[in-house]
Amino acid sequence: MVKNIFIILILTFSFNLFAQEISITASTDTSDYMIGDHIQYTLLISMDKDVYIINPFFRDSLKNVDVLEIPDPKAEENENGKTVKYDYVLSRFDSAQVTIPPIKIEYRTKRDSTLKFALSNSVTFNVHRMNVAMEEEIKDIKPPIRLFNYLFIIYILISIVVLVIGYFIYRKYFKNKPQIEIKPIAEKIPLHQLTLRKLDQLEKEELWQKGFVKDYHSKITEIIREYFEKQFKLPALERTTTESLKLLSMHPQGIKVIDITSQFLSNADLVKFAKFNPLETVNREMMTQAKDIVKKTVSVQKDVEAKTELEEAANV
């Protein structure tokens, strides 16, 4: 009996401890929508200052709605802790009562590196069809409005043809032919070496040491995103952190660095999109993580270069 009471006390203490570390609230802007309406789904995460979350993949949990827009998260920090807010734009094209299940958020703390998780509340709302008055009289469809005169369209087409012919005559008989510029053959530097050079140059600039923390995080993530684009052929510069991580997880080589990349991009997002001032250890760790990402994927670049050299030799 005493042993059972002791276990209950331990579980209660652990639950209260996690509750103090992080809390998650999910909500929508209203509870009733028409078919096709934009549904504003918000996930607000409040946490202690020593808590670091891992960006969640919301699409896996939003299976009964269509995701129209995934903006970047909004983070804030004050004397009481930190908040991160996700605003999703959803929609549904069929009537039903929709329930979005709890969203799982994984996180770590400075004092304990163990991966933990917390769940949000579920959200329920209704999607309705438009009411049609069947008893009203059916009205005729309005005739189409004629916007252009056919003769006017013919004149425009003739003018375009004349301009095109005149342009080619000018290029052929009147415009001086451009001189062929011979450019020296540039030294071919492997992608991983070029990326490491950029990281070394950024480290020498000492941006965060001089107070330019946000510029430092923006430049270092841009270097890594550009590396992913050329290394794995992923549109990393055009995608959000969540979308980039999902694309990277689908690549057979990118999955090797998915965990370190998730932590790397999550820390950078908190600095770039909010007034979050990281510790010096975090700034140094960002550079270490960036170089590790490149070094762990060097074999991919070497295979691509070897394949390219073989193809060039075969075409000679």
Q: 18-128 architecture in CATH?
A: Sandwich (2.60)
Joined together, the tokens standing for residue 77 give 């920090």
Name residue, tokens 């790397």. 264
CB within 8 Å of 34: residues ≥ 6 apart? 127, 128, 129, 130
Name residue, tokens 């996690």. 18
∠176-179-182 over CA atoms, to 5°? 170
- Residue 134 confidence (pLDDT): 58
Cα distances (angstroms) measured from residue 296 to each of 46, 50, 222, 291: 34, 29, 18, 9
Q: Nearest 5°: phi and psi at 88?
A: -105, 145
**Rounded distance between C-alpha atoms, residue 314 and residue 86, angstroms:** 51
**Rounded distance between C-alpha atoms, residue 101 and residue 121, angstroms:** 7
Joined together, the tokens standing for residue 1 give 């009996």
- Residue 42 confidence (pLDDT): 93
- Residue 125 confidence (pLDDT): 92
- Residue 111 confidence (pLDDT): 81
- Residue 126 confidence (pLDDT): 93
Nearest alpha carbon to residue 87 among 31, 42, 39:
42
Question: What is the pTM for the complete model shown?
Answer: 0.40
Joined together, the tokens standing for residue 116 give 């933990």
- Residue 68 confidence (pLDDT): 85
> Per this entry, what is the length of the chain?
316
Could you report the average pLDDT of every consecutive run of 10 residues in the chain (316 residues)?
Answer: 42 44 92 91 89 76 82 85 89 89 87 85 89 61 60 86 88 66 65 89 88 86 86 79 83 82 82 74 86 80 50 49
- Residue 303 confidence (pLDDT): 52
The domains of the chain are located at 18-128, 191-315
- Residue 200 confidence (pLDDT): 92
107 Ramachandran zone, left/alpha/beta (phi>0; psi -120 to 50): beta
- Residue 136 confidence (pLDDT): 61
